[in-house]
Structures are given as structure tokens and as C-alpha cells.
Chains A and B, each alone.
Chain A
Amino acid sequence: MINRRAFLIGSITITLLGSPLFSALAEKKKKRNLVVISLRGGMDGLSAVPPIDPKLEKFRPDILVKKTLPLTSDFELHPSLKNFHNAWKENNAAIVHATNIPYTMRSHFEGQDLMESGGHKPFAEYTGWLGRGMETANLDGLAIALPMPLILRSKANLDNYFPTKLSTPSPYIMKKVASTYPEHSNLRSTIQQVMMRPYSMLSGKGSRKAHRLAGTAAKALSKADGPRVAVFDINGFDTHAAQGGSNGEHADKLYNLDKIFGTLQKNLGPTFEDTLIVTLTEFGRKIEQNGGNGTEHGYGTAVLMMGGLVKKAQVYSNWPGLNRKNLFEGQDLNSTTDARSIYCSAMAMAFETDFEKLKRQVFWNDPLIDLQDKLFNV
């Protein structure tokens, strides 16, 4: 019996995966959860996790982040990320810096396609890296989304849920409609899944706010026989204007992200220990501020990780520096770590599946590096 459920709300997607395989193992071993948060629009890693470097002030005099939170001797944290910082102090948060998916062409549409497909050419793949990873690891899942997001698409069959404002069909309607679907048909098994749903997933009153969905997702993840994967989207990181420093457009978006971090941690309860939360974006932003106190599309950025499965509080980076000659095309923070190495390692660890196998079956055997022992507490 496969546990399938899915939710879809607004611009937010959560995917939850459960596995029969896992249920069988549940007594012996704790299940590990993976949460991927897509930061759409191109998240500015230099604002979220600014390096301590006087050159940054020259490039960004009007949008410099002040009142930062301390991290290491080389990096600081944006003050909007308070929950993240608290986790850092507990050794439950870390950052990979100067990283990105291997895409340099600065287009959202290509970049977002590639960050979800994990591929090399925009629009060439019709499945997503997380979906393929789940397929490889034999997991089924639940998406909190109405159309299945690309990142989750694969041959694996996913359940989905998303709060709706339409009225809910009554049990009478469902039962009668179900009787018209032939036995053993896809429709019959799907409507049976629907009828087994708790009323809270049918009432049509669920909140579509991201942090509320995060709470719902976390509660589901925290159950031993619950799903194992959740995916969220947050829009609006395309800060061309009024990006600001400690306050401003980017600060607001990071605050939203931090709220999700906090809600997840709270609702995961003790299972926070067995969870990895990781961010994803299409690219970073140019190092130089533009005429509208914002930033343009760039390349390298930072990936934020949180949860008990994080090895330790660290900024893991082969830092390329901010000298002009070290910048990508003379204008962006370079990427020295293929972000897909992080995601492949994260799946290997959370799905308890061989890294090499995932690399082959999910990422075309690209030269990705196994970072599990560097980044995760396993």
C-alpha cells in the first residue's frame, strides 16, 4: 500500500513522500526527511550571507547589509534570518557559498527550468531531479501542488494536495461518482485515495499561505509513516529595484523564508533531528548594485541548509574572492561548487541510496562530488 497525498496552494508547493519500504523499516531506523525550498527569481547570496570584505562596500554602497548576525570570521548573516541563526548556534544550520547550478545565461525561464530538471539544456528534460531521485530510491510521494511541479516529475506516481476555494464534493457525490469508474482503473484507485483523505484535506478551507502550508507539511513529515519529502516555492527574489540592505525587498523575502524555517522546525518537533532543509535558486545576482538600488541577474550564490542532519555550523566554500579578475565575466560571484553535488549528496543521505547510483540515474553521471561526509551528520 503506497501512501500518496498531495496539496497545491497558490505559488507554494509542498511535496510529501511516504514509502512502504520505509514503513517496514520504521521500527529499526528513523526515517529521514528532505525539504527543498525553491527561491524563485535569483536569490542574492551576497546579501543573505555577505562575505566580510571591504570590496563589497565599493560595489554596493547603497544596499549594504547592516546589523548582520555573526557567523564566522569571513561571513555574516542577513538580520532577517533569525530562526536560521538560532539553528546555526545549535550546529543545525550551514551554508554552501559560491555555488550554483551550472547555468550562466542569466535567464529566469531557462534557469528555473534547469534548477528543477537538473539538466544541461533548458527545456530538454521533462522530469525533475527530485522526482528522478525518488524514482531511483523507490519512494512515492505527496506534492502540495495542483499541477505537478517540474522538480517532482518522474515516472514515479505522486499524490497531490492543494487547498482550493471551490466547494468540496460531498461523500455522497464522491461515492456515486466513484462507482462509475471501472475497477482496477487509474481513476478508481485515485478516487479511493481521495476518499481516504482526512476531512481537513478536503474541507476547502485550508490556508494557502506559505508558512501555514509549511506547518501542515511539517506535521505530515513528522509522522513515522508519513511522507519524506516536501517542496516549497517562494517567489519574488528578482530584486531589480529597492532591494535594500537590512530593510527592503530582499530583507522581506528572506524574512518569509526564515518564517518557513521557523515553522518547519517548530512543527517537526523531535523529527527536526532527522530532517534536512535545503534551498534552491536559478542564479545569484551581480555584485554591483544597479541604478535602482537593486541588482541584476548573476551567477554564483549561496545555498542554505538547516536541520538535525546538517553536520555542523559552517560556511562550506572554495571561496573565489571578489577581485575583478576572479569574478565570473568580471561581474558576478563565481560558482566553485556545482550545486547539483549538494542536491545529489542530500538525496543520497536522506533517501539512504548510493550516491553513485543517483549520480548515474538522476544526473547523467556528470562529475558531481559526494559531499555527504562534509555536509551531513551521517
Chain B
Amino acid sequence: MKKNFFRKVAFGIGPNEIVPENPVSWAQNQVDKVPPLIWNTQIRSGKEMLNHYAEWVYTDREILRKKYKENRQAYKEAKNKLRYKVGQQYFENLEICIRQNTALKSKSPVFERLWFFWCNHFAIIDKDAMPQFTTGPYHRETIRTNMCGSFETLLKEATLGWSMIHNLDNSESIGPHSEWGKNRRKRGKLATVNENHARELLELHTVSPSAGYSQEDVIQLSYIMAGWEHEYTKKRKECNPVRFNSKKHEPGNHKVLGKKYKQRGLSPKNKLIDVLKDLSNHPNTRRFIAFKLCRHFLTDNPTEEMIAPIISAWEKSDGNLPTIHKALLQVVYDHADNQTKFQNPEIWMLQMVHMVGGSWPLQADEMKYNFKIKPNNHQRKPRFFMKEIGYEPYRPIQPNGFSDLESDWISPELLIRRMSAPKEIARRRIALKNFEEMIEKNFDDPDEIRALIDGVKSPSTKMQLIFPSYRMLKT
């Protein structure tokens, strides 16, 4: 009965859960509203986290570096104290716990899988102190809260949020004919746009190269985007809210993908808002994202038949995300029997934990931190473990995020880690008493899995055999 569907779109069926009778409506009912994050203590806001980031960079660069310029050892010690005070080694671990605890305990695991997808679609790479302070909050606030509206709104929020503006250097962009541009040139300094954000907006976030845009389109879009920045101040460095600075904006009309965006009076900032609207509704964007959704959830090589219903749902609903997600879930179910998908290390690990009722991640009481000494080994475990299995969720290295292709995840060392990780989870308490039942609930070919653990007594060994096996890796 397509039991693999529950792993394709969620984290499998846990020890105390019943296999839903109607899988498609079970899944589709999870995507209409944003479920709460699941964590036992108050979760810090993105704004508060940006303050910690600001304190970290300001104190280090403006105070410690100068104060201890003659004394390396004293500098190192002072910097460590600062590290503890602002939670520089703590918050990323905490964010991993919040993310994974929510995924595992959610009443809407399908929504959580989609959340992971969109976080990776609008990826923030490992840059400056972002993984340590702000990428977790960006996933929680910017991506998650906008998943039940239109793609256009999600795109706008992600594009103009502090994380993306800083990650892709849009604050560095200065229109050559802007007020600042002219002044800088008078002083013999360079004044150009930084194309990073414009290029990724087209290539990765919306239309993709299949739209056939040119370098000129990228430059023109950079002109339109110039001026969207975070202010840079001595006291807070880059940690200031995003604003539109018309003094850096390239004035005039600009043409992107064949359409002219006109300078209208005093609010040139709307040029970008208009572009984002058009990019959201561009046929290549629909096709590209439908393809990516199928590639993430269903197969490395989606076919026209798979993506067509998603494109059509997008068109009919004007890019309403829940409608698009529902169409995707139907497609995944329809093709579940004859498509398999290699699961990335994080999703695979969470499926394992969910299916055995494992004690992962650490809970709020264990993550309590005094901000005075180095977080203990226990509290640094989330990052350590994710690093060991090859997937640190806040540290993709390029803006295209983590790969969805099997070939990027199968290597000797990564495969060894799949065989090592189950023992780590088995070391902690697991709720599962009856492996038979777990196998029956989760696998379409239970005999095959049963045979694998035939005669095996220890739950740990059972886990080490089941979870790196073919049916679990490729769902």
C-alpha cells in the first residue's frame, strides 16, 4: 500500500503512530497552516540573535583586537570569554535541536519536510557568523512563516530579508550613476554593482538558466537591486535592518528578461518589487520549482508527467504554496510504487530516530546554558553529529544549497557514516519495543527486512542492519 510514501514525504511511522488510512489526504491536510515550532523553552527571535551577532563582531573587531594587539595569548583568552558570553559555540547547536525536535515531534511532518526543502531552496551559505547566529532564525522566521501564502510573498521575504541581502553581498552594490557612485568616483574610488544577488535570484531562486537570460539581464537586475542594503555602522557592523538606500540606487529605467521597469517618481524601490512579482509568475519559475520539488521528494530525474500537475496547480492558484504542495503530494503518491529517492543524511537520520522513537535531539533542559564557560560536550553534540554524518544544515558551501542528487551523496566515507550513525542513536534510549511491528508499518516488502535481522537479538545490531540497508537509503 505504498508505505514508502510516509518516508518519501515525512519521517516514516513512529512506534506509537497508526498508519494513516488515506495517505494523500493525511499528507495534504498538513500544509494549510504553519504549525508551531516544538521546543520547551522560549525561542529567541531573529532580532535578538542579530544583537548577539553584533556584539560578537563589534567587541572582537573594535575592542579586543586593539586592546590586546601586543599580547596574543591575552587576546585569545579574551576572545574565548566573548565567545561564551554571546553564545558563539552554543546557538548553532541549539538551532539544530529546535529544527530537528520540531521535525520529529510535529503533528505535521509533511510540512516540516517542505520546510527543509524551502530552507535549502533559499539557501544561506556558511559566511561570517551567520551559521552561529542568524541562519537558524532565518529558517524559522523568514521561510517557515511564509510557507502558507503565495510563492511571491515567500520570494519577497527571502530576497529582502537580512540574511539573503548579507549572504549575497547586495549591500556592496553601488549604482554607478547613483549619488554615492558619483561621489566615490570623484574621490577616485570604484563604484560598481555586485552581481551576486541578482544572478542567484535568477539562476537559483526563480527562472533558472533555462529562461535564457543574458549577462546584461543580470547587470540590469543588479542596477534595480542596488540600494537594498543593511546599513554598516561602527557599533553594529553589518547587523542593521535592511532598508532601501536611494543614494546607492541606479536611477533610470532598466530592462530585465525583455521587460522594462520604469523609474516612477520618488519610489524607485518598487522596481524590485515589480520584478519579483514578474519572476514569481514567470513560466520558467513554475517549471523550475516543480522540477526541483519532484527531484527532492520523488526522483533524481523527474518526468514531464510528474511536473505537469504541479505547474498546473501553480497556474490555477496564482502560486499559492499550499495548493502547489498538495499537487506535489498527489504526484508523489501516484508515482510512489515505481520511483525511489536517495535520502540525504539529515532526513535519513531523522527517519531512523522517528521510526525507533529515539532520544534525539537533546531537549531544552539539557541545552540550558550559562554563557560563562564553553558549552559542554553534550551541548556541542548536535553539530558534531551532523558534521560526522555529512550534513550541517546551516552550512551549505554554495548558494545552490545541498544537492538532491544521489551521486553527490554516495561516496565511501559517507556510506561508512550511514553504517556508524545507527549505533550512536541506539546508545540512547529508544522507545521501540517491537521491531516486527515497525517493519510491518513502514516497509512495503517487510519480509526482506525481516530476513535481514533474522536471529539478531540486540536492538542496536538490528538498527545497524536495517537503516543503512537499501530500502532505507533509497525510499
Determine if B398 and A173 form an interchain contact, defined as CB atoms under 8 angstroms apart.
no
Q: Does A147 contact B (CB under 8 A)?
A: yes
**Could you tell me the distance between the alpha carbons of A161 and B13 in the complex, rounded to whole angstroms?**
34
Chain B interfacial residues counted at CB < 8 A:
55
Residue B406 contacts which of A113, A126, A164, A186 (CB distance < 8 angstroms)? Answer: A186
A69 within 8 A of B: no
In the complex, residue of chain A having the shortest beta-carbon distance to the beta carbon of B415? A190
Does B373 interact with chain A (Cβ within 8 Å)? no
- Name B169's contact: one of A5, A107, A124, A244 (CB within 8 Å): A107
Shortest Cβ distance from B409 into chain A, in angstroms? Answer: 10
B65 at the interface (CB under 8 A from A): yes
Closest to B168 in A: A123
Does the CB pair A166–B423 fall under 8 Å? yes
* A166-B421 contact in complex given A177-B465, A182-B470, C-beta closer than 8 Å: yes
Nearest A residue to B126 via CB reads A109
Is the CB–CB distance between B416 and A202 below 8 Å?
Answer: yes
Taking a contact as CB atoms closer than 8 A, the residue among A176, A194, A241 that contacts B416 in the complex is A194
With both chains docked as a complex, state the minimum distance between the C-beta of B163 and any C-beta of chain A, in angstroms.
14
Residue of A nearest to B399 (CB): A123
Within the assembled complex, what's the spacing in Å between the Cα atoms of A105 and B195? Answer: 12
Chain B residues 406-433 with CB under 8 Å of chain A are 406-408, 410-417, 419-421, 423-424
Indicate if B289 sits at the interface (CB-CB under 8 A). Answer: no
Type the 1/0 row for A16-31, where 1 means its CB is closer than 8 Å to any CB of B.
0000000000000000
Q: Please tell me if the beta carbons of A158 and B413 are within 8 angstroms of each other in the complex.
A: no
Contact B125 A109 (CB under 8 A): yes
- B199 to A164, Cβ gap below 8 A? no
B65 and A240 within 8 A (CB): yes
**When the two chains form their complex, are residues A241 and B64 in contact, meaning their CB atoms are under 8 A apart?**
yes
Residue of B nearest to A116 (CB): B397
Cα A249 to Cα B75 in complex, Å, equals 11
| B440 interface residue per 8 A CB criterion | no
Query: A144: nearest residue on chain B (CB-CB)?
Result: B413
Task: Name the residue on B nearest A122 (C-beta).
Answer: B196
Interfacial chain B residues near A160, Cβ < 8 Å: 411-414
Kindly supply a per-residue 1/0 record for chain A positions 278-311, scoring 1 wherever the CB is within 8 Å of any chain B CB and 0 otherwise. Answer: 0000000000000111100000000000000000
Q: Is the CB of A158 within 8 A of B411?
A: yes
A-B contact count (CB 8 A): 141
A190-B411, A197-B412 given; A180·B469 CB < 8 A: yes
B302 within 8 A of A: no
Question: Most chain-A CB neighbours within 10 Å: which of B127, B172, B468, B471?
Answer: B468
Contact B410 A187 (CB under 8 A): yes
* Residues of the A chain whose Cβ atoms lie less than 8 Å from the Cβ of B464: 169, 173, 177
Say yes or no: A167-B423 contact (C-beta < 8 A), given A177-B469, A187-B473.
Answer: yes
Closest to A117 in B: B398
A137 at the interface (CB under 8 A from B): no
Residues in B whose Cβ lies below 8 Å from that of A176: 452, 465
Tell me whether B398 and A113 are in contact (CB under 8 A): yes
Whether a CB of chain A sits under 8 angstroms from the CB of B68 is: yes
CB atoms of B417 and A159 under 8 A apart: no
> Which residues, 367 to 423 on B, are CB-close (under 8 Å) to A?
384, 387-388, 390, 397-400, 406-408, 410-417, 419-421, 423
Instruction: Check B416 against A126 for contact (C-beta < 8 Å).
Output: no
Instruction: Specify the chain B residue showing the minimal Cβ separation from A247.
Output: B72
B264 at the interface (CB under 8 A from A): no
In the assembly, what is the distance between CA of A197 and CA of B417, in Å?
A: 15
Complex: A334 Cα to B198 Cα, angstroms:
29
Contact of A193 with B465 in the complex, beta carbons under 8 Å: no
Q: Contacts A8-B413, A187-B470 known; A248 to B419 CB distance under 8 Å? A: no
Tell me the bound Cα distance from A161 to B448 in angstroms: 31
Is there contact, CB below 8 Å, between B412 and A164? no
User: Could you say which of A5, A109, A113, A166 contacts B417, with CB atoms under 8 Å apart?
Assistant: A166
Contacts of B420 in A (CB 8 A): 164, 166-169, 204
Q: Which residues, 106 to 158 on A, are CB-close (under 8 Å) to B? A: 107, 109-110, 113, 121-124, 126, 146-148, 150, 158
Given contacts A107-B169, A240-B61, contact A161 B196 (CB under 8 A): no
Q: List CB contacts (< 8 Å) of A29-82 with chain B.
A: none
Chain A residues, CB < 8 A from B457: none
Q: How far is the CB of B449 from chain A (nearest CB, A)?
A: 9
Tell me whether B66 is interfacial, beta carbon within 8 Å: yes
> A204 — which chain B residues lie within 8 A by C-beta?
420
Can you list the 7 inter-chain pairs with the closest CB atoms, starting with the nearest?
A241-B65, A292-B65, A169-B419, A166-B420, A293-B69, A180-B470, A180-B469
**Could you pull out 20 A-B pairs where Cβ atoms are within 8 angstroms?**
A105-B194, A110-B169, A123-B398, A123-B399, A146-B414, A148-B411, A160-B412, A164-B420, A167-B420, A168-B420, A169-B420, A176-B465, A177-B469, A180-B471, A186-B410, A242-B69, A242-B72, A242-B75, A291-B66, A292-B66
Residues of chain A touching chain B, judged by Cβ–Cβ distance below 8 Å, are 4-8, 105, 107, 109-110, 113, 121-124, 126, 146-148, 150, 158-162, 164-169, 173-174, 176-177, 180-182, 186-187, 190-191, 193-194, 197, 202, 204, 240-242, 244, 248-249, 291-294, 329
With A109-B127, A177-B465 known, 18 other A-B pairs at CB within 8 A are A105-B172, A110-B196, A121-B199, A126-B400, A159-B412, A182-B470, A186-B410, A187-B410, A190-B410, A190-B415, A191-B415, A194-B415, A204-B420, A241-B64, A291-B65, A292-B69, A293-B69, A294-B69
